[in-house]
């Protein structure tokens, strides 16, 4: 092995290490420099500030990109069908500071409250630390009030025992109202 070959191999090795480092940095780039701003679709842009419109301003996927805007004020299907694991797909905030935001429904229970370990964290003066929770009982979505100070309201009446939630019926926690949709 001549010295020259070894020198070339050494430089090659160092380069390889740096390529590895930069491969990671490249894969991380949107983490380091922020994500590229995507243009709003024209109809959404005309609708003014997203939060004011019924446009879901903050879908849980900011990277979602080209997702179609949901039909603005969704027609509430007031047919009284109980939300179940099969027919309910999202929880939509209908009024309050984050009106329009959506939250995907899986099969896990969803805790609502002021504490940082809640799934939906609502920080306002009316919400208790552990306020309420949504859970699946026999495949149906139920709301349970966790002994909150100001109460949880399903369609205007206070929830005292775990109650099944019909699709499209407003649930009020503090200053926030949400409903379950398909």
Partner 1 sequence: MTDPIAPIASGSSSSTGSPNSAGYPSSTGSPSSSRGGRRAARAAGEPTPPSGIRRIRLPQKLRNLELALLLFACAINAGAIVLVQLGALGAIDTQLILLGAGLSALVLALHISMRFVARDADPFLLPIATLLNGIGIAMIYRIDIAEGDTGWDSAAVRQIVWSAIAIVCAIVTILVIRNHRVLFKYTYLSGLVAIVLLLLPLVPGLGDDHDGAQVWISIAGVMNFQPGEIAKIALAVFFAGYLVRNRDSLSMVGRTFLGMRFPRARDLGPLLVVWALSMAVIVFQRDLGTALLYFGLFLVMLYVATGRLSWIVLGLSLFLAGALIASQVLEYVGNRFANWLNPFDPARYEAEVGGSYQLVQGLFGLSNGGLIGTGWGQGRPDITPVPQSDYIIASLGEELGLAGIFAILALYLLFVSRGFRIGFAGQDDFGKLLGVGLSFVVALQVFIVVGGVMRVIPLTGLTTPFLAAGGSSLVANWIIVALLLRLSDTVRNHPRLVIDG
Q: Which residues bind partner 1 (CB under 8 A)?
A: 1, 6-7, 9-11, 13-14, 16-18, 20-21, 23-31, 34-35, 58, 60-68, 85-86, 89, 93, 96-98, 101, 103-108, 116-117, 119-127, 174-176
Is 61 or 160 the residue whose CB approaches partner 1 more closely?
61
CB of 71 to partner 1, least distance (A): 12
Query: How many Å apart are CA 168 and CA 155, to the nearest integer?
Result: 10
3-state SS, residue 3: helix
Q: What are phi and psi of 22, to 5 degrees?
A: -75, -25
CB of 147 to partner 1, least distance (A): 20
Tokens found for residue 44: 């959404």
Q: With beta carbons less than 8 A apart as the criterion, state whether 62 and 35 touch.
A: yes
Is 17 or 40 the residue whose CB approaches partner 1 more closely?
17
CB of 51 to partner 1, least distance (A): 12
Is 5 or 161 the residue whose CB approaches partner 1 more closely?
5
Query: How many Å apart are CA 28 and CA 34, to the nearest integer?
Result: 10
Instruction: Return the number of other C-beta atoms located less than 10 Å from residue 85's C-beta.
Output: 14
Is 6 or 78 the residue whose CB approaches partner 1 more closely?
6
CB of 160 to partner 1, least distance (A): 24
DSSP state of 63: G
């Amino acid at each position: 092995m001549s010295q020259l070959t070894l020198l070339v191999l050494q430089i090659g090795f160092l380069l390889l290490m740096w390529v590895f480092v930069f491969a990671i940095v490249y894969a991380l780039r949107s983490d380091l420099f922020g994500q590229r701003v995507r243009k709003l679709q024209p109809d959404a842009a005309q609708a003014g500030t997203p939060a004011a419109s019924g446009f879901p301003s903050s879908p849980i996927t900011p990277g979602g990109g080209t997702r179609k805007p949901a039909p603005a004020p969704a027609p509430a299907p007031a047919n009284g069908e109980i939300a179940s694991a099969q027919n309910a797909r999202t929880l939509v905030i209908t009024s309050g500071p984050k009106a329009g935001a959506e939250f995907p429904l899986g099969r896990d229970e969803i805790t609502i409250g002021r504490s940082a370990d809640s799934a939906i964290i609502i920080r306002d003066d009316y919400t208790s630390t552990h306020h309420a929770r949504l859970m699946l009982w026999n495949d149906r979505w139920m709301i349970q009030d966790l002994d909150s100070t100001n109460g949880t309201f399903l369609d205007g009446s206070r929830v005292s025992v775990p109650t099944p939630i019909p699709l499209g019926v407003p649930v009020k926690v503090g200053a926030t109202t949400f409903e379950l949709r398909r």
